Amino acid sequence: MMLDLIRAAAGALALALLAGCATTNMGTPGDPLERMNRATYRFNNGFDRAVLRPVARGYRDHVPHVVQEGIDNFLDNLAFTTTIVNDLLQLKIKDTLVDLGRFTVNTTLGIGGLLDPASHFGIPRNDEDFGQTLGRWGLPAGPFVVIPFLGPSSVRDAPSLYVDAQTDLRLALDLDSTTEWGLAGISLVNRRAELLPFDASFDAAYDRYALIRNAWLQRREYQVKDGEVEEEPIEDPEDLDPLEDPAPEEDLKKYGAPAPDAQQPDAQEPEVRNPVEPATEAPSSESPPDQPPPGGGDSSSATSLISASEAIADGTFR
């Protein structure tokens, strides 16, 4: 039953892609199907707000955490066979053996996957699928697409969902329709509950669709390349050419000499006199005993700011 649903979704996606290619005229780079994608996104978002998000919140708030963790471990273990198969298809022999050992440990010692002893033993966990396998062997991702009910994908990854369903024990096992639909529903709610902490960031975005699209594309590239993503080089400020001040002669030729009254008042150094001693007497090398030492009386505004800033810093970072 679930495989039939996936086939129907793949057929609907193919028809939507044909319609989108005939009608799109929006020029966002990497998203030529943006008009169709935004319409599908609005449908998915409406379904999420009306049904999926409230159910996921109830699941998170009312189901004990121990039960949620056991369900999550059990579902991940059933789907982990897809990772093992794609490890092998990508010729990652070491990862294949490691993931096979992890699956064996969790299935046996973990009581069918309800527990995760492999993580306690330090066995790493990889994450592979058929879309990543195609990308590793050089197939480009193609345009970004949004699948009804399933969310972000690409022209390369969307058909790969059907291939992954053949190796996912949640769908590949010969189960009755009630069990299949139950596993599918629990998997969907559990996955949505894991994404609830990101809802605030998505809701605060100016363009939620663009944020989800860009985040998904960057994460997908990271997965396909196993984290070996080329980063844009950052120029060292020391390697930049220093800025040169224009020559004073050129400024005079271009702008002329400044007017006498246009000079700033602080351009001239004021004559400092001792306000206590008469101007006719020679200044003494030592301060009279009845006068405060220099800087001990009323300080200038700059000195006050420096002292205040030092005091605040001392009190804040102690």
pLDDT tens digits, residue range 54-76?
A: 999 999 999 999 999 999 999 99
Q: Is 188 inside any structural domain?
A: yes
According to the model, what pLDDT value does residue 180 have?
86
Per-residue b/e over 138-165, b at no fewer than 16 CB within 10 Å? Answer: eeebbbbbbbeebebbbbbbbbbbebbb
Q: Is 187 inside any structural domain?
A: yes
Residues 83 and 98: their CA atoms lie apart, in Å, by 11
Residues 64 and 68: their CA atoms lie apart, in Å, by 6
- Quick one: what percent of the chain has pLDDT higher than 70? 64
Identity (one letter) of the amino acid at 34?
E
Q: Which two tokens stand for residue 156?
A: 């390369």
According to the model, what pLDDT value does residue 245 have?
55
Structural domain range at position 191: 35-224
Q: Is 317 inside any structural domain?
A: no
Q: Is 294 inside any structural domain?
A: no
Could you report the per-residue pLDDT of 231-242, keeping only the tens digit for each?
666 555 565 555
**Residues near 133 by beta carbon (within 8 Å), at least 6 away in sequence:** 86, 89, 90, 160
Q: Is 189 inside any structural domain?
A: yes
- Which residues of the chain register pLDDT less than 50? 1-3, 5, 8, 10-12, 14-16, 18-24, 283-285, 287-288, 291-318
Q: Is 260 inside any structural domain?
A: no
Structural domain total, the chain = 1
From 158, 202, 185, select the one nearest 56 (Cα to Cα).
185
According to the model, what pLDDT value does residue 254 have?
59
According to the model, what pLDDT value does residue 211 have?
94
Q: Is 282 inside any structural domain?
A: no
According to the model, what pLDDT value does residue 30 have?
76
Q: Is 283 inside any structural domain?
A: no
